[in-house]
Structure 1
């Protein structure tokens, strides 16, 4: 486990987002990235969550809709990692995983593509 305050973790998440390929980010629409300390149930098992309707399931989605969210949980990441390099890698993996869910890519397909 490593220690990192909320501001530094938020900066790390932003840095990792900036490193993702443009092709992965260009199609993101009506989506916000949020950093929270822990999931609502207080567990340390969940690293991230896509909260929204996948692109493949949208038929009448449009103006006036609240944005979907990708939530990255700080404390579970810190609990799971032993050093800064491992933390960066885990945040990167979480972002890719949750962005894939936005596009409607399930966990099995993520592994086939080598993204998870």
Structure 2
């Protein structure tokens, strides 16, 4: 997949989603199988109610979010209220990508995906660094 240059037309939602799905498929087992059970949503910005709940003023300040119960807190007797979901926010990701200017878009999307799945899996910083060396 060829990525557009930063000065080209902004990458669309479906490209961000494809990069995110590639990042999930690159996770090592058993995490990959578990991650494939989590819904993946890509939107331009986080909804206002989500930003308000998190106390975030600017939608450009939120690149991703995990909604759900971390696996480390789940019980087989729990009744799911909604599916676990990893959200990615395209415009915030693109803004960070352009501001940084030193990282590829696929690498940034992978970083956001790994960070959000870290919440799902209950990973430590060391666990994250083993999968996403950008954290080191």
TM tier, smaller: 0.7 to 0.9
Structure 2 unmatched runs, 5+:
52-57
For 2:14 and 2:68, the matched residues in 1 are separated by 25
User: Which of 72, 82, 89 is 2:88 aligned to?
Assistant: 72
Return the alpha-carbon distance in structure 2 between the equivalents of residues 20 and 29 of structure 1. 10
Give 1:90 deviation, angstroms: 1.0
What does residue 92 of structure 1 align with? 110
Pairing of 1:1-116 with structure 2 (within 5 A): 2=6, 3-28=10-35, 30-40=37-47, 41=51, 43-59=59-75, 60-62=77-79, 65-82=81-98, 86-105=104-123, 109-110=124-125, 112-113=126-127, 114=129, 115=132, 116=135
How many residue pairs get matched? 111
- After superposition, the C-alpha distances for 1:1-34 in whole angstroms (9 at most, x for unaligned) are 9411222222222233222223321234752111
Q: What is the rounded CA distance, in whole Å, between the counterparts of 2:21 and 2:97 in structure 1?
A: 18
Q: TM-score, normalised by structure 2?
A: 0.67
Runs of 4+ off more than 6 Å: none
Structure ID, larger Rg: 2
Corresponding residue of 2:55: none
Q: CA RMSD in A?
A: 2.6
How far apart, CA to CA, are the structure 2 residues paired with 1:28 and 1:77?
Answer: 21
Structure 1 alignment gaps of length 5 or more: none
Higher normalized contact order (CA 8 Å, seq sep 6+, divided by chain length): 1
